[in-house]
């Protein structure tokens, strides 16, 4: 087998349907991410200390929420908007008496769907890497309640566009517009920051393993065979070594006026 065929075989072995849940362990040891200069988990812990009616938005399979299982109040709810993960989240969270409700705010029109909760229902809403409607949050969070979010910058990984062709980005998903929108909806933004860092993959195979988990980041027709020329070029350009991409994160803490 030629060296190129062997490489393609190795890359094809990374291809899979997007798994359910939200678990990046297939990348353990093959991808590193630069740390942002804040700890969202620490912020979550501190916020949970005083909270009695908590919502976790976009819980995935509940993996992140369960890190805080010892701190969650009896009245904890989660939403999940991606249908395949709703039942995964229900299974994982039911043993902890956490009710999972199907809801997601479409990225391009976050106000188009009402949150399935009455006014002033929560005193803390957590949101890690999930879209949201500031107006709906202002409705379901009681005055004095808190909204805590960490977001992925909508224009990160621009390198993917250079390598594989134009792809949709969400440039408005960024720190300043999100801070302003929260303020306009009725929140005092009391803390937050943004950070530009880097993802480092051991090689093209590790990059491919990552892309299986985030299929919206690549063109709809993306496969190893269809994009073999681009992948081989990337492999050569990176001298068969690490592949890097820009990573963007920001976080915001808002208190409902
Ligand atoms: C990026 S995940 C974050 C999950 C969780 N909050 C966490 O921090 O680990 C945000 C949401 O995207 C959902 N998701 C995953 N794959 C998706 C897909 N192909 N299309 C739409 N949503 C997807 C997840 O189920 C989850 O609710």
Task: Give residue-wise pLDDT tens across range 25-44.
Answer: 889 999 999 999 999 999 99
**Ligand 1 interacting residues, C-beta cut-off 6 A:** 18, 22, 58-60, 63-64, 80-82, 85, 128-130, 215-216
Mean pLDDT of the chain: 96
User: Going by DSSP bridges, is the β-strand pair 187-201/122-128 parallel, antiparallel, or unpaired?
Assistant: unpaired
* Mutate which of 22, 101, 210, 213 for ligand 1 pocket (most atoms within 8 A of beta carbon): 22
pLDDT of the residue at 136: 98
Closest CA to 116 of 139, 144, 93, 134: 139
φ, ψ at 206 (rounded to 5°): -65, -40
Give the chain's domains with CATH numbers.
3-256 (3.40.50.150)
* Mutate which of 17, 64, 65, 85 for ligand 1 pocket (most atoms within 8 A of beta carbon): 85
Q: Which letter does DSSP use for residue 70 in this model?
A: G
pLDDT of the residue at 168: 80
- CA distances, 34 to each of 31, 206, 245, 254 (Å): 10, 16, 11, 25
Task: Give residue-wise pLDDT tens across range 66-116.
Answer: 999 999 999 999 999 999 999 999 999 999 999 999 999 999 899 999 999
Instruction: Kindly report the pTM of this predicted structure.
Output: 0.94
Half-sphere exposure in the Cβ direction for 122 (13 Å, CA): 27
Ligand 1 atom closest to Cα of 130?
A: 10
The answer to whether the beta carbons of residues 241 and 201 sit under 8 Å apart is no
Given a cut of 90, whether residue 12 has pLDDT beyond it is yes
Task: Give residue-wise pLDDT tens across range 184-235.
Answer: 999 999 999 999 999 999 999 999 999 999 999 999 999 999 999 999 999 9
Question: Considering only CA atoms, which residue is closest to atom 4 of ligand 1?
Answer: 60
Ligand 1 atom closest to Cα of 56?
A: 6
């Amino acid at each position: 087998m030629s060296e190129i065929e062997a490489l393609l075989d190795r890359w094809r072995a990374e291809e899979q349907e997007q798994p359910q849940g939200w678990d990046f362990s297939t990348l353990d040891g093959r991808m590193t991410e630069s740390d942002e200069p804040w700890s969202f988990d620490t912020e979550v812990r501190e916020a949970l200390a005083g909270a009695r009616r908590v919502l976790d938005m976009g819980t995935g399979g509940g993996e992140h929420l369960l890190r805080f299982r010892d701190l969650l109040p009896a009245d904890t709810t989660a939403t999940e908007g991606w249908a395949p993960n709703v039942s995964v989240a229900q299974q994982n969270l039911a043993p902890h008496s956490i009710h999972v409700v199907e809801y997601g705010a479409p990225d391009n029109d976050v106000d188009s769907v009402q949150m399935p909760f009455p006014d002033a229902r929560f005193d803390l809403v957590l949101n890690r890497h999930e879209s949201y409607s500031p107006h709906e949050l202002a409705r379901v969070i009681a005055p004095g309640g808190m909204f805590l979010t960490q977001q992925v910058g909508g224009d990160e990984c621009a390198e993917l566009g250079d390598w594989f062709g134009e792809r949709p980005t969400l440039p408005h998903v960024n720190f300043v517009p999100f801070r302003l929108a929260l303020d306009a909806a009725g929140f005092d933004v009391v803390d937050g920051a943004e950070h530009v860092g880097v993802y480092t993959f051991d090689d093209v195979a590790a990059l491919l393993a990552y892309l299986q988990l985030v299929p919206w980041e690549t063109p709809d027709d993306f496969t190893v065979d269809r994009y073999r020329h681009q992948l081989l070029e990337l492999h050569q350009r990176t001298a068969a070594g690490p592949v890097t991409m820009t990573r963007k994160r920001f976080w915001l803490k808002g208190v409902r006026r």
